[in-house]
């Protein structure tokens, strides 16, 4: 990759996942404030890439026909309304693989009024073509 060109995180994850040694390393982890070290969930780069490709195919199918890697969606927006979990990383990488801009809706802002305003703005002004969430969308 040319150092002057922008980095595509999906390409980085894809290349890392295909590396025989590095692909099995932990790419992301999650736990909530109540879980101990034994309850931490992890995902490797290989697993992250495989799940992101599956999701990208589903998004592509929802937005239009054709192979998941054929088209980019620079004139379309996706929104994501979920906590920053492993699933959030899967959504992020899937959208990056499609060239689909992603607006992150608030789920954990200290001010619920600010969170509601942000989510309402994203839905009304950005008009995402697809909203991906783990517990519904409010606002």
Span 9-133 CATH architecture: 3-Layer(aba) Sandwich (3.40)
Which pLDDT tens digit goes with each residue over 48-82? 999 999 999 999 888 875 555 556 677 889 999 99
Torsion sign (Cα): 58, 64, 67, 73: negative
Q: Which of 93, 5, 98, 78 is nearest to 47 (CA)?
A: 93
Mean pLDDT to the nearest integer, 82-88: 88
Distance, in Å, from the CA atom of 110 to the CA atom of 93, rounded to the nearest integer, reads: 26
Q: Quickly state the pLDDT bin for 37 (edges 50, 70, 90).
A: low
Torsion sign (Cα): 24, 25, 31, 36: positive
Tell me what the pLDDT averaged over the chain comes to. 82
Half-sphere exposure of 123 (CA within 13 A, CB side): 15
According to the model, what pLDDT value does residue 5 have?
57
| Residue with more model confidence, 63 or 8 | 63
**Whole-structure pTM value:** 0.79
């Amino acid at each position: 990759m040319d150092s002057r060109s922008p980095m595509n995180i999906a390409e980085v994850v894809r290349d890392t996942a295909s590396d025989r040694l590095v692909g099995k390393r932990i790419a992301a982890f999650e736990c909530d404030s109540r879980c101990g070290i034994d309850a931490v969930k992890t995902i490797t780069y290989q697993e992250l890439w495989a799940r992101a490709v599956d999701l990208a195919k589903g998004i592509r199918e929802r937005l239009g026909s054709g192979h998941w890697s054929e088209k980019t969606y620079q004139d379309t927006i996706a929104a994501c309304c979920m906590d920053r979990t492993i699933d959030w990383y899967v959504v992020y990488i899937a959208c990056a693989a499609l060239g689909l801009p992603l607006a992150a809706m608030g789920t954990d802002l200290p001010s619920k009024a600010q969170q509601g305003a942000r989510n309402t703005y994203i839905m009304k002004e950005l008009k995402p073509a697809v909203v991906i969430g783990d517990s519904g969308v409010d606002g």
